[in-house]
Amino acid sequence: MIKVLITEDSPVVRGYLKYILDSDPEIEVVGVAKDGEEAVEMVALTKPDVVTMDIHMPKMDGYQATRAIMETYPVPIVICSASWNPEEVDKTFRTMEAGAVAALEKPRGMGHPDSEASVTELLKTVKLMAGVKVVRRWSHDRKKSVPKKDKERKVTQEKISASKDIKLIAMGSSTGGPLVLQTIISGMPKEYPIPIVIVQHIAPGFLAGLAEWLSRTTGYSVNIAEDGERLKPGCAYLAPDGYQLGIDKSLKVHLNDEQPKQNLCPSVSYFFKSVAKTLGKQSIGVLLTGMGKDGADELKLLKELGAITIAQDKETSVVHGMPGEAIKIGGASIVLPSTQIAEKLVNLTIKTENVES
């Protein structure tokens, strides 16, 4: 049984969350907290496998409670947020900085057309996050929890060298992605001469907040891509909700609402396939933490076309599904911890000498 502690100030939402979680035979609700202060106390008493965390609460909000929990009794925390509130979205990403592993929009009520999908997503996320290993935060600096001496590991024995005319950095990420993207983008030079395009799976309503949070915390220009827009160097672009993103040879964005076989929109697979078709070895593919296998086959396709491909390692991934699948099928040229990806991208694209691996 997966033991869950619910933290939510609204009695109605508390009851609904308990009803949803109790309906799954693999989950046991071991406690219900009405504010962050109560949640901190109950974590030590109930020893849950997962905590669901509201953001806006009296006495102690979700951000403060997450910091306290991660410093005293670290446990996977899943944020259940009202994503339409800009202030709450901003605090959601700050809470992820403090140690929360995933963020979801609060489940839709019965009768809403998205009710079943939101309930399914909550149950799936809670079960998956129960197996995530988290670390105690001895300070509020999340970087201290990441080993500093991780070594790069090559997956294959081939000699890797960068093309001199790389035109695009193509990234895909899902669960755990926002913090990894923050780490990577923070390490990129502000005048980086190559555009970065990212497909990040995220709950509807959070994307604009993610773009704003990444821009503010990294100092880099991060925007949501628009149809017909030509990509610019020194900028990062996020694929918009509900659209597939493709790129043509002139680095022009093409959006459509085509649904892929995995029913993901946007899809890393669709994006990487477009990059493979138009740019091939003039791109670098990067597949980051996330559940499932979206983008794994297409990362291998990029590699077969001569592109350098990077997969995040297991140790720094919240979920090693997507990059792990790419590594398993031979789609990654290089495997790196999240803390070393930015440096590698800079070395591959700005330095002219061959890269030692």
Out of 24, 49, 294, 313, the active site residue is 294
Token pair belonging to 141: 């600096």
Task: For the chain, give the longest Cα–Cα distance.
Answer: 62
Q: Report the distance separating Cα 32 and Cα 27, nearest Å.
A: 14
Report which residue type is found at 9: D
Burial of 131 (0-12, 13-18, 19+ CB in 10 A): exposed
Q: Which of 9, 201, 269, 333 is catalytic?
A: 201
Please identify which of the residues 81, 83, 173, 174 carries the catalytic annotation: 174
Which residue in this structure is represented by tokens 């395009």? 197
3-state DSSP assignment of residue 160: coil
| Token digits of residue 116 | 């079943």
294 is catalytic: yes
Helices marked H in 83-225 — which ranges?
Answer: 86-98, 115-129, 177-186, 207-218
11 Cβ neighbours under 8 A, 6+ residues apart:
34
Q: Tell me the torsion sign for CA atoms 219, 224, 226, 230.
A: positive
Q: Comparing C-alpha atoms, which of 24, 79, 82 is closest to residue 50?
A: 79
**Does the active-site annotation cover 174?**
yes
Q: Would you please indicate which residues are annotated as catalytic (active-site) residues?
A: 174, 201, 294
